[in-house]
Amino acid sequence: MSSTQLKESIDVLKQSGVRITPQRHAILEFLINSHSHPTADEIYKALEPEYPNMSVATVYNNLRVFRDAGLIKELSYGDASSRFDFTTSNHYHAICEKCGKIVDFHYPGLDEVEHFAASVTGYEINKHRLEVYGICPECQAKENH
């Protein structure tokens, strides 16, 4: 984990007037360390043994605070639960159709798509999102055995 990322994130929250509770600290630290794009339930289940008084609602409320502060992205892919991503820089996702695993990848050339879309449609383009779907290496290995 990057202690720099944690410190910078805590500073952002403090500047927004958000009090840093032990639960907030733990949820934020979990997100920084996680590369799996966890759901609120997954975060709750991971932290519940250490914080038995924390509820699922506490996790959801804190995720909303972090999202509103611009620290995390909420990813919804049409299923029932959102996933949360600490990496807010422009990147894209490869999603396994079998197990749901999500992996980040960067491809800078897609920024040109926004400029092209703006010139063709006349829209003022604010953002874009790209997801590619397939079968992850682990699920491929299971299929081949």
Query: Of 85, 101, 125, which residue is a domain's last?
Result: 85
Average model confidence (pLDDT) for the chain?
87
3: closest CA among 34, 29, 35?
Answer: 29
Number of compact structural domains in the chain: 2
Residues 69 and 111 in one domain: no
Residues 72 and 34 in one domain: yes
In the annotated binding site for Zn(2+), the residues are: 96, 99, 136, 139
Residues 65 and 108 in one domain: no
CB 77 within 8 A of CB 95: yes
Quick one: pLDDT at residue 43? 94
In the annotated binding site for Fe cation, the residues are: 128
Does the pTM exceed 0.75?
Answer: no
What's the start-to-end Cα distance of the chain, in Å?
A: 35
Quick one: pLDDT at residue 28? 93
Residues 76 and 99 in one domain: no
DSSP assignment of 26-68: HHHHHHHH--S--BHHHHHHHHTTT-TT--HHHHHHHHHHHHH
Residues 120 and 61 in one domain: no
In the annotated binding site, the residues are: 96, 99, 128, 136, 139
Residues 99 and 130 in one domain: yes
CATH value at residue 123: 3.30.1490.190
Quick one: pLDDT at residue 56? 93
Quick one: pLDDT at residue 78? 61
pLDDT in tens, 70-80: 888 888 866 66
Per-residue model confidence as pLDDT tens for the chain (145 residues): 467 888 888 998 999 889 999 999 999 999 998 878 899 999 999 999 999 989 999 999 999 999 998 888 888 866 667 888 887 677 788 888 888 888 888 777 777 888 899 999 999 988 887 788 999 999 999 988 7
